[in-house]
Amino acid sequence: MSDDGAHSSRRRRVRKKQAGDSAQGKDRWILSYADFITLLFAFFVALYSISLKTQGNDRRLTETLTGVFDAVQKSVKPINVGQPIIGEPKDQDAVDAQTIPSNPPNMETKTPDPIPESGLPQPTIYDVLDRVISSEFQSLQRSGQISITDSPQWVNLELKSALLFGEGEYQLTNEAVALLIVISNILKSYPAPILVDGNTDDLAVTSARLISNWHLSSLRASSVVEELVYRGVDPKLIAPIGFSSEHPKVRNTNADARQQNRRVVLRISKTQAANLYDYLFK
């Protein structure tokens, strides 16, 4: 091939390459446009937030900013539509107004509850929880899925693992979330130190994601604590603890016994404290 032919071939290749680069680059304006729209959206959100702040609506401001910049779904499972999920009151606001006093009593064991003008003592957290369970969760109480007991130092709310989790799982079901929303509304009105302990049976875990029953019991307790904190319970007053199978309710002799031992217990102190750590260790 002559030199003129070689130069002509190279020029054609250069022209084709330049044409290809031009075709690829002609759509890059879309990136700049998308960035502009994003900034414009953030600008209007900021203006809307400032207007809310000016009106003094701090709660609405917080919800707006959280929804825009931290749009994280709490549950990856679909929410039931149609019939209410089991145990959730039909009118939550009405239940809260009836069962939760606006001014919860002092739960310090050394100080008696204040006597209102009517002459009757205000209900304790045990009274409120017991009333809600008896009226709103009767079927769960009859089946033993939920129970409440009282001791000199603690109010113990026991929830069976089958009510909260799938088999071998530690993520809360939608039904469990609905139940914990009701419980959290009561706990917020009666702030006190809370220990959430997870318990399993003595069978070895079979899931590849879990190391042992210690792991499973701790994760289940942590899931409950995380949900309660997400719903407004003070994180300084609550902590999870896993007991594996080392604190059985009954002997692990059969399937029914093991089912009773798989549980999460909310131990609510009757003594007030600024935080759980000082309450336990100081």
Q: What is the pLDDT of residues 118-155, one digit of tens each?
A: 567 788 999 999 999 999 899 999 999 999 999 999 99
- The two three-digit tokens of residue 90, written as one number: 């039909």
Q: Using 50, 70 and 90 to split pLDDT, how confident is the model at 51?
A: low
Q: Are residues 102 and 137 in the same domain?
A: yes
In a shared domain, residues 55 and 96: no
Residue 103 pLDDT > 50:
no
Q: How far apart are CA 230 and CA 183, in angstroms?
A: 12
**Same domain, residue pair 249 and 133:** yes
One domain, residues 65 and 106? no
**Tens digits of per-residue pLDDT, 254-274?**
999 999 999 999 999 999 899
Does 11 map to a domain?
A: yes
- The CATH number of whichever domain residue 99 belongs to comes to 3.30.1330.60
Count of structural domains within the chain = 2
Q: How far is residue 151 from each of residues 111, 146, 200, 270, measured CA to CA in Å?
A: 17, 17, 23, 9
Residues 119 and 199 in one domain: yes
Are residues 135 and 269 located together in one domain of the fold? yes
pTM beyond cutoff 0.75: no
Mean pLDDT value across residues 197-223: 92
Which region among 51-55, 74-78, 189-193 has the lowest average model confidence (pLDDT)? 74-78
Q: Are residues 177 and 58 in the same domain?
A: no
Which range has the worst mean pLDDT, 2-16, 169-183, 190-204?
2-16
Q: What is the pLDDT of residue 121?
A: 79
Domain of 12 in residue numbering reads as 3-69
Residue 275 CA to residue 281 CA, distance in Å, equals: 11
